[in-house]
Structure 1
Amino acid sequence: MTSAPAIGTLTVDFIGEEYVVQPGDEFTIGREGDLSIDENPYLHRHFLRLAVEYDMWWLSNVGSLLSATVSDGTGQVQAWLAPGARLPIVFPVMHVMFSAGSTTYDFTIRTEADWFNTSTSGAALSSATTVMPVTLTRTQRQLVLALAEGVLTQSVPGRGAIPASADAAKRLGWSMTTFNRKLDNVCDKLDKLGVPGLRGGPGRLATGRRARLVEYAIASHLVSVDDLPLLDDAGSESD
Structure 2
Amino acid sequence: MTRFDWMQDLLEWFDYYLLDKGEKPGLWVEIQTNQGQWRLEDRYPPEGMTTLALDLGGGLMNVAGTTTILPNGATGPVYETEPLEEDIWIAGLPRLHIDVTTATVGGQIYALLEDCNENGSCIHIGHAIMDLRYHEGGTEEQTWLPLIETINAKMEFFSLDAQISAGHTIKLSLASTGEDYLPASTSSVVTIQEGAGSNLLLDLIDPSEKILFDPPKCTHTACTDWTNQTI
- Normalized per residue, the structure richer in strand is 2
TM range (shorter): under 0.3
Q: Which has the higher contact order (CA 8 A, sep 6+)?
A: 2
Between Structure 1 and Structure 2, whose CA radius of gyration is higher? Answer: 2
TM-score (norm 1): 0.22
